[in-house]
Amino acid sequence: MVLLTEFTAVPETTLIEGVVVSIVGYLIVFVALVVLYYFFDRLSKIINWQIKYKLKRQGKLNAKDKTRDFSVPGEVSAAISLALYMATELHDDESNVLTIKKVSRVYSPWSSKIYGIRSLNR
């Protein structure tokens, strides 16, 4: 009788290395997600600051506009993206009609039943 422990005997160092690799992998993914979150969070503030700086340099920024938020609301972004999608939709309306052409050659070895019959030599 073969015992199951003979097949599952794994050195302890292999198990420890597997745990370490798993923990390091999870930490890398978690840190990358946190970095991406802060990057995208700060990106909108940087773009807003650049717009205010550009308007201030051109002399178009009033005193009351210094506290104004120049970001675009989500509804406006959705409307713009829908309009772009509808404008760039280049597919033609198809008629959805299938055309089946009859083959002039009716004989084919694939449809021949004679090759399926066994010839028995008695």
At 81-96, the pLDDT tens digits run: 998 888 877 666 666 6
Q: How far apart are the first and last CA of the chain?
A: 53
Q: Is residue 101 part of a domain?
A: no
> What is the C-alpha separation between 79 and 5, in angstroms, rounded?
63
Give the residue numbers spanning the domain of 37: 11-72
Kindly tell me if the per-residue pLDDT of 33 is higher than 80. Answer: yes
Query: Model's pTM, two decimal places?
Result: 0.44
How would you class 55 by CB atoms within 10 Å of its CB: exposed for 0-12, middle for 13-18, buried for 19 or more?
middle
Q: Is residue 47 part of a domain?
A: yes
At 3-27, the pLDDT tens digits run: 555 566 667 788 889 899 999 999 9
Measure CA 112 to chain center: 48
Q: How many domains does the chain have?
A: 1
> What is the C-alpha separation between 2 and 59, in angstroms, rounded?
86
